[in-house]
């Protein structure tokens, strides 16, 4: 099973945390049942922020991925209500493998350096560092926190392209679209959410899981937080649905 779907799990949840608190999401597929859970925690104060998330596979997905788990941490500065990332950290664990991708963002040099460390069977297999081919002060968490409110203020049908640290497999290019009224109506019915829920569509001109313009459909509540989402036609598992199951403040 490809790793991309669990990455999407965390991306969906990470990107829609507006206020400090803790959230939990359930991820499922009509074909395979429960795929996993995501837990997210956000702290903000004194001009700084920190977002952490853990994605765990469950059921048959855990069996197929070697009980894969992924941990995400985004931290940086808050300026004029926007998050500016200074470090993005991702750790993956499965069976006998472990990998860390650590991004350091330098706004003075306008450079992002990615360090990759990988272990196999308990032995160090790779330890390398190199700069990304593009620069951005937003990782996947900061980008969505910044983009969601901005896009919801724009007319239906509007779209913007952003560069995101941690999305180099799509050359950093992430497109966020405020769905048209007709598309929003159809998606609200499909996801069974309230009429007032707004619909955003996330895509990329590059390939995601082997296909260009693959769409993530986000149903965002009046609180600015992701309530439900779906990812269209993922290899092996079919459609993926994400649903918030609790919120604590």
How many domains does the chain divide into?
Answer: 1
Strand partners, 234: 238
* pLDDT range class, residue 2, cuts 50, 70, 90: very low
Q: Which of 89-98, 144-153, 178-187, 214-223 has the highest mean pLDDT?
A: 178-187
Here the tokens at position 201 are 């569509």
199 within 8 A of 188, measured Cβ to Cβ: yes
Report which secondary-structure segment, H or E, holds 189. helix 181-191
Q: What is the pLDDT of residues 137-173, one digit of tens each?
A: 999 888 878 888 889 899 999 999 999 999 888 899 9
Full residue range of the structural domain in which residue 97 is found: 4-248
Vertex 37 angle, CA 20 and 33, to 5°: 145
15 within 8 A of 141, measured Cβ to Cβ: yes
pLDDT of amino acid 17: 53
190, pLDDT greater than 70? yes
105 within 8 A of 122, measured Cβ to Cβ: no
């Amino acid at each position: 099973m490809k790793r991309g779907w669990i990455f999407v799990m965390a991306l969906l949840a990470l990107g829609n945390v507006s206020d400090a608190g803790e959230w939990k999401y359930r991820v499922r597929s009509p074909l395979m049942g429960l795929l996993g859970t995501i837990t997210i925690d956000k702290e903000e104060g004194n001009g700084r922020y920190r977002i952490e998330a853990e994605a765990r596979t469950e059921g048959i997905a855990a069996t197929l991925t070697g009980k894969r788990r992924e941990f995400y941490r985004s931290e940086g500065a808050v300026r004029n209500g926007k998050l500016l990332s200074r470090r993005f950290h991702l750790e993956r664990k499965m069976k006998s493998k472990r990998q860390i991708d650590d991004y350091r963002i330098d706004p003075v040099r306008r450079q992002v350096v990615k360090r990759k460390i990988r272990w196999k069977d308990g032995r160090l297999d790779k330890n390398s560092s190199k700069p990304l081919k593009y620069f951005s002060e937003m990782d996947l968490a900061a980008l969505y926190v910044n983009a969601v409110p901005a896009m919801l203020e724009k007319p239906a049908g509007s779209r913007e392209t952003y560069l995101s640290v941690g999305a180099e497999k799509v050359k950093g290019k992430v497109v966020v679209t405020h769905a048209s009224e007709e598309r929003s109506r159809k998606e609200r019915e499909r996801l069974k959410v309230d009429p007032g829920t707004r619909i955003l569509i996330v895509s990329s001109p590059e390939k995601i899981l082997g296909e260009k313009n693959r769409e993530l459909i986000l149903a965002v509540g009046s609180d600015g937080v992701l309530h439900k989402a779906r990812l269209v036609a993922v290899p092996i598992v079919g459609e993926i649905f994400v649903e918030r199951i609790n919120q604590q403040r």
